[in-house]
Structure 1
Amino acid sequence: MTARAWVVILIELLLSGLIIFILYTSASAEKKRADDAEQSLALANATIKDMQTRQRDVAALDAKYTKDLADAKKQLDDLQRCVSSGKCGLHVNAKCPANGTTVPGGMGDASSPRLTDSAERDYFTLRERIVTVTKQVGYLQDYIKEQCLK
């Protein structure tokens, strides 16, 4: 073999080595990109699963408090109907003015204590608002404990 043949063989070997090195480097970069994509996909799937769990938990919490609020409003409506029909009465700590003259040693002719119609409506409105706010605050406290502090 001549020197020229040796040079050609050497150049071919160098080119082959260079091509193998480039292919290996490219394959390594592609493998790293594939591994990174797999890791990102796993993280995205875990995030989606966590969000689904949280959504289910929030929906359950919402359903619980919606039912509690509806039950409380129904109970208040029942009480209001009972008072309106006269079956129940609101007990008021009040002093009644006398309708007539007082009898010595007696209570006199006092009317029974009763709220005015507007005061009675205001009473039930306030009770309803208290129940609503109490349930809303309870819901928000549970939401914070179960969702925000996790």
Structure 2
Amino acid sequence: MLFAFTVILLVVCGALWLAANHYRDNAIIYKAQRDKKASELELANATITDMQQRQRDVAALDARYSRELADARAENETLRADVAAGRKRLRVNATCPGSVREAPTTSGVDNATAPRLADIAERDYFTLRDQLMTMQKQLEGAQEYIRTQCTKLAFYYPEDT
């Protein structure tokens, strides 16, 4: 009877040892999985935070250059309106050739007006000025975007192995 009790006790102890070892192995595996997922979650949160900061930076950059472009366009429109109303003049840096001045004239009236652009040339000037300001602000904005955003290090998810 003592022998049977000893055998049963050994079998029960062996079964308990196997069960404990099984649960210990599972606990180690689950802990490793938990640590890996916690690390991935931390990386994902850091990536989200970085993306949100970049979006705020880009929005501020866009607002700044949009405001500068709107100001430049308003200045151009003000100048156009002033020229049209006669408050300001658009001058041409031109000189007359010497032979024209020295030519004898029968008329005693000098040409008192300064050289002036034709109306279509004046409109073209303002259009080109507006396009130049637009291109310049777009270029400055793109350069600052590249300088401030494209050169930053970003968080990336590690590849699954």
Identity of aligned residues (%): 44
Change in CA separation of 1:93 and 1:43 when aligned onto 2, cut-off 3 Å:
same
Does the C-alpha gap of structure 1 residues 113 and 54 become closer, same or farther in structure 2, counting only changes over 3 Å? same
Structure with the bigger RCO (C-alpha within 8 Å, sep 6+) is 2
- Deviation at 1:87? 1.1
Partner of 1:117: 119
Inter-partner Cα distance in structure 2 for 1:83 and 1:102: 35
Alignment of 1:117-136 (within 5 A): 117-136=119-138
Instruction: Report matched runs for 1:1-150 at 5 Å.
Output: 1-95=1-95, 103=105, 108-109=110-111, 111-150=113-152
Flag the 1:2–1:117 CA change in 2: closer, same or farther, 3 A: same
CA RMSD of aligned residues (A): 2.3
CA distance in 1, matches of 2:12, 2:52: 59
> Could you tell me whether the CA contact under 8 Å between 1:96 and 1:110 is conserved in 2?
no
Deviation for aligned residue 1:10? 1.6
Q: Is the 8 A contact 1:83 1:89 kept in 2?
A: yes
Quickly say closer, same or farther: Cα 1:138–1:64, change in 2 above 3 A.
same
Cα pair distance change 1:6/1:107, threshold 3 Å: farther
List runs of 5+ in structure 1 lacking aligned partners.
none
The structure-2 alpha-carbon separation of the partners of 1:96 and 1:65, relative to structure 1 and needing over 3 Å to count, comes to same
Structure 1 residue 137: Cα displacement: 0.4
The alpha-carbon deviation at position 109 of structure 1 amounts to 2.9
Query: 1:96 touches 1:111 (CA, 8 Å); kept in 2?
Result: no
Q: Using a 3 Å threshold, how does the CA distance of structure 1 residues 46 and 23 change in structure 2: closer, same or farther?
A: same
